[in-house]
C-alpha cells in the first residue's frame, strides 16, 4: 500500500509541486513574521471597530432625524473608510510575507 501512495499523488500535491517549481510555493513564516501579521490584523480590527463606533453614532443621529441623504452619505463614507483600512492591512501583510 505504501508503494501505491508513492506512485499516486493527489491534485493538491501536484498543484503544490507546480507552485514550488515556479518559486511560488508556500513558505514557512518565522515567529517574528507571524507576530507582525497578528499585530497588523489586530490594528486593522481595532480601526474597524473605532469606525463602527464613530459612524454608528452619526448614522443613528441621521436616521433619527429622518435625513435619508445624510444617512446614505455616511454609509458610503463608512464603506470607503473600511475599504481603505482593509487595503492598508493587505499592503502591510504583503510587505511582511
Predicted confidence (pLDDT) per residue in 55-69, tens digit: 999 999 999 999 999
Q: Which residues 6+ apart lie within 8 Å of 40 measured at CB?
A: 89, 92, 93, 96
Residue 39 domain-assigned? yes
Residue 75 domain-assigned? yes
Note the pTM of the prediction, 2 decimals.
0.67
Residue 11 domain-assigned? no
Alpha-carbon distance of 38 to 17, in angstroms, equals: 28
* Maximal C-alpha separation, the chain: 73
Alpha-carbon distance of 57 to 75, in angstroms, equals: 12
Residue 35 domain-assigned? yes
Summarised one tens digit per residue, pLDDT across range 65-86 is 999 999 999 999 999 999 999 9
Residue 4 domain-assigned? no
Amino acid at each position: 500500500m505504501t508503494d501505491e501512495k508513492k506512485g499516486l499523488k493527489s491534485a493538491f500535491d501536484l498543484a503544490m509541486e507546480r507552485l514550488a517549481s515556479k518559486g511560488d510555493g508556500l513558505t514557512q513564516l518565522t515567529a517574528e513574521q507571524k507576530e507582525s501579521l497578528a499585530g497588523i490584523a489586530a490594528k486593522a480590527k481595532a480601526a474597524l471597530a473605532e469606525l463602527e463606533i464613530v459612524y454608528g453614532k452619526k448614522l443613528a443621529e441621521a436616521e433619527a432625524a429622518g435625513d435619508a441623504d445624510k444617512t446614505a452619505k455616511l454609509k458610503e463614507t463608512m464603506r470607503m473608510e473600511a475599504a481603505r483600512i482593509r487595503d492598508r492591512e493587505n499592503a502591510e501583510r504583503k510587505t511582511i510575507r
